[in-house]
Amino acid sequence: MSTNLSKQDPTGDSQVGTTPEVTGTPSADTARRRIGSTLVRNGLLMLLAFVGIALLLETLSPFRVSQLGVMAYYLPAIAGLTVLTGLNGQISLGHGALMAVGGYTTAVLLERQEGLPFLLVLLISAVVAGVVGLVVGAAAARLHGPYLAGATLALAVGLPGLALKFDEFLGGDQGLRVSPPRAPDGIESFYESLMGDNLSGQRYLAYYGWIIALVVLLLLSNLVNSRYGRHWRAVRDDEVAAELAGIDLGRMRVQAFVVSAVCAGVGGSLLAVVTRLIAPTSVTIVLSFGLLTAIVIGGLGSLLGAVIGAAVLVFMQQIITDTGLDAGLDASQAANIAPLVYGVLLIVVMLAAPRGLVGTVRMAWSTRAAARRAGA
């Protein structure tokens, strides 16, 4: 997964490293492009990733499986945010709130409209989050840097408060319980005949979440390599040049925001289902900061970085807390170490590797390739 995803990666740096010499006539070039059609290549990649995930889900302990389930709901939101911030240059501290929109929509629909297919519920949640994203994005398109951060921060702080205001409908402090979908009989019996074992609800949800997350990644990777991705990067890099090339800056910003919000909505919907609960406490400002931390650590604008960032976010929390408990701290002290370590990690990354993990590795790789060329 890693090598190919990084080739697909939208940040321009990859071009320096992966194509040392420009070769070939234009016709050979187009022919190669046709064979390596982005959609087909990414599709195969995702299939491969799915096989890898399936192997993990089948061999790991139930606890690890539940962690992978958590990672699956972070992933779409983080991937959407890295596209928005890394490729379009808009910062958002409000993606936790957009996840809340997706999560609450899912919870309300599953509770009030029994029998709705879950996939439809997911789509509706994504659309609702997209609509909220459209409104926020329209305002955000006029704001820059710290102002944009401030406006989206207000969203992150304010929106979960709605659940308290409309507590009859949205469950107030307690939140809404979500009865997660059960595997359809066909899939269940297929799984049983294949594995000779029952498909546990938790494992089914992890599969479910990962399939959705991979589909989101697939769609995003195609999008960022398309005309849209190119226009978004143009807007980020040089507003004047983009505008003079005929790009409507505002429209591109809103577009990117909506796409990103839809991804957050998908993440939120999965969150509600995987954790079986959506409450103000599950979509706090800390969640928004966590998402942002993940994209910075992974590498801004890189989808592979989003995967790494999500893994760091999910697994490090538990590792740190466990280490704390082993060292003799009580539970609440141990739980508070994680944010501290995130903060320190963030500072270290900014100082030592401001391009994030993916960007730094790629840069080192292309520097070495260049040195080898110069030596040869």
- In the complex with other proteins, which residue's Cβ is closer, 22 or 194? 22
Do 69 and 274 form a contact (C-beta atoms < 8 A)? Answer: yes
Residues 130-169, mask of contacts with other proteins (x by CB under 8 A): ----------------------------------------
Burial class (CB in 10 A: 0-12, 13-18, 19+), 45: buried
Phi, psi values for residue 286, rounded to 5°? -60, -35
Q: 113: left (phi > 0), else alpha (psi -120 to 50), else beta?
A: beta
Do 295 and 81 form a contact (C-beta atoms < 8 A)? Answer: yes
230 lies in the binding site for other proteins (CB under 8 A): yes
Residues 208-227, mask of contacts with other proteins (x by CB under 8 A): -------------------x
- In the complex with other proteins, which residue's Cβ is closer, 180 or 250? 250
Burial class (CB in 10 A: 0-12, 13-18, 19+), 285: middle
- In the complex with other proteins, which residue's Cβ is closer, 11 or 317? 11
Element of type H or E holding 60: none
Our measurement of the distance from residue 18's CA atom to the centroid of its chain's CA atoms, rounded to an integer in Å, reads: 25
Residues 168-207, mask of contacts with other proteins (x by CB under 8 A): ----------------------------------------
Interface residue with other proteins, options 26, 186, 196, 328 (CB under 8 A): 26
| Segment interacting with other proteins (CB under 8 A) among 36-44, 102-110, 240-248, 290-298 | 240-248
How far from 356 is each of 83, 98, 220, 286, 293, CA to CA, in Å? Answer: 14, 24, 20, 20, 10
Interface residue with other proteins, options 167, 173, 243, 322 (CB under 8 A): 243
What are residue 278's DSSP bridge partners?
Answer: 176
- In the complex with other proteins, which residue's Cβ is closer, 188 or 248? 248
36 lies in the binding site for other proteins (CB under 8 A): no
Compute the least distance from the CB of residue 13 to other proteins, in Å: 7
* Contact residues for other proteins, defined by CB under 8 A: 11-13, 15-16, 19, 22, 26, 227, 230-231, 233-234, 236-238, 240-249
